[in-house]
Structure 1
Amino acid sequence: MMYLSRLRLSRDPQVQALNALLDPAPGGEREDAHHRLIWSLFAGDPTAQRDFLWRAEGEGSFLVQSQRPPAQSPFFEPPETRDLAPDLRSGDRLSFLLRANATRDLHRGDDKKKRQRVDVVMNLLHSVPKAERNAKRLDLAGQAALEWMTAQGMRAGFTPERVEVQDYQTVTLPGYRGKRIGEPRFGILDLTGTIAVTDPDAFLAKLGQGFGRAKAFGCGLMLIRRG
């Protein structure tokens, strides 16, 4: 059993006074603050591993998929929670919405054991002259997203039928204070489209785990509905 919850930051004036800390300006610090906030809803066991996925919806609103229903928190309004147990069959077509940190492993040099994890969009952009990158950014993001979703589907029991890029941005890892050149960044793809389920069990298992990396920073939650 999984749960899907809609959360909203509390409108209590004492909480609103902390808004600059709870909902900072866009960037890695914001994702880090949001992650810590949502942890407050699942903080009953200090030894527990993170068992939830989340995404920010803007204006202090969040969607959270979890293995446990969220608890009450002084930072949030009472959660709106429902059971999440999709009844899927092979061949079902689903519309999806996904915010993902999409990466792949590349072999470097002749040593097949040496691999480097790269962002799929950044990897394509590196081969484009800097003067042309802005113009080609979304086209290359669409190409990279389709290839990545196809690879995901082979392992997770679905076939992508349509993949559209709504946005692509890069975010600096929180806590970094060095020079901009060489700063550690990760890419975030906002994707929508349709998929066809080929293996319901594999797909539901992956749905619970999330897709891609950077799940602590609001990536990986796939929202689905029947097409």
Structure 2
Amino acid sequence: MFLTRFRMNTARPGARLLLSSPQVLHAAVMSSFPNLLPTDAPDPDSPRVLWRLDHHARAEVMLFLVSPDQPDLTHLVEQAGWPAAATPDNPGWQTRPYTPLLDRLAKGDQWGFRLTANPVHHIRRTADEPRKRTAHLTPIHQMGWLLDPNRQERAGFRILEKPDSKRLLPAGTTHHKHEHHGDRYELTVRDHRSLGFHKSHAGAQPRGKPVSLVTVTFDGRLEVTDPERIRRTLTSGLGKAKAYGCGLMTLAPLPGVTR
């Protein structure tokens, strides 16, 4: 497995085109792997190509990839990077082996994390109506999606709770009606985006209804509960819309924790 980082040159028209549509960017990402055919359908539980955009500032947008094979991002550098600055030692992106970190994960490890996801649930308005997938729209419900105990157990981690000294609300305020997820847990939600785009194939006109997608980015702290399951989460993704930049969780060392 490999972890790759690429900085978008947002001043270039090519970068603005890629950032305008998750489908266009997905196609560009998948073109980074010469041995991967467009018809290859990923196994839901097997390592796959995952990607995420981190918007640090208007002119600082980072593309992260996790992939079974090492990518070649030459076309992205030419379209949306700094091709004149590329050298053999610095081609315009950075790739490093990801397997050593994955292999080191152990039960009880604590990490910082970032995840861009598509928090959804299924509802029906009447008893005889089919259940419909719909997005969570409020931060409290979006946090609730990730804090779901069953989801965390399947993913191999648990979100850490804040110590009492860091809480704004009283520690005893835990009744469901009054619980404030953002104050009890080491978890924040930001960068809410409502995206709309058409599915289309190269050279074809868009058809059908546009795809609507709500994405958010979670930052927080977690503890590993099952190393094998969290490895699968990190390499296969979490949640829906993985082809559109969702599901990629990355870990970062916590301050003061040596490994």
TM-score for the superposition, normalised by structure 2: 0.65
Which runs of no fewer than 5 residues in structure 2 stay unpaired?
43-47, 78-85, 161-185, 201-205, 255-259
- Structure 1 residues 100 and 72, CA, compared in 2 at 3 Å: closer, same or farther? closer
User: Is 2:35 the counterpart of 1:36?
Assistant: no
The corresponding residue for 1:136 is: none
The corresponding residue for 1:96 is: 113
Shift of 1:145: 2.6
User: Is 2:229 the counterpart of 1:202?
Assistant: yes
Higher strand share: 1
- Structure 1 residues 39 and 184, CA, compared in 2 at 3 Å: closer, same or farther? closer
Shift of 1:119: 0.8
Query: Are the counterparts in 1 of residues 159 and 187 from structure 2 also a CA contact under 8 Å?
Result: yes
Matched to 1:149, the amino acid is L
CA distance in 2, matches of 1:20, 1:150: 39
RMSD, aligned CA: 3.0
- After superposition, residues 47-196 of structure 1 pair within 5 angstroms as 47-49=39-41, 51-57=48-54, 59=60, 61-71=62-72, 73-76=74-77, 78=91, 79-85=93-99, 86=102, 87-107=104-124, 109-111=126-128, 114-121=130-137, 140-141=138-139, 143-151=140-148, 152-161=151-160, 162-175=186-199, 184-196=211-223
Matched to 2:53, the amino acid is A
**Higher gyration radius (CA):** 2
**Could you report, residue by residue, the CA deviation over 1:96-147 in whole angstroms, capped at 9, with x for unpaired residues?**
11111111223553359x32111122xxxxxxxxxxxxxxxxxx31x12321
CA distance in 2, matches of 1:187, 1:62: 19
- Structure 1 residues 25 and 38, CA, compared in 2 at 3 Å: closer, same or farther? closer
Shift of 1:54: 0.8
Q: How many residues align?
A: 195
Matched to 2:136, the amino acid is V
CA distance in 1, matches of 2:108, 2:233: 17
Partner SS state of residue 75, structure 1: helix
Percent identity between the aligned chains? 26
Query: Are the counterparts in 1 of residues 198 and 210 from structure 2 also a CA contact under 8 Å?
Result: no
CA distance in 1, matches of 2:211, 2:35: 33
Shift of 1:214: 1.5
**Could you report, residue by residue, the CA deviation over 1:15-63 in whole angstroms, capped at 9, with x for unpaired residues?**
x9xx43453285xx43222212112211334243452111124556411
Shift of 1:95: 0.5
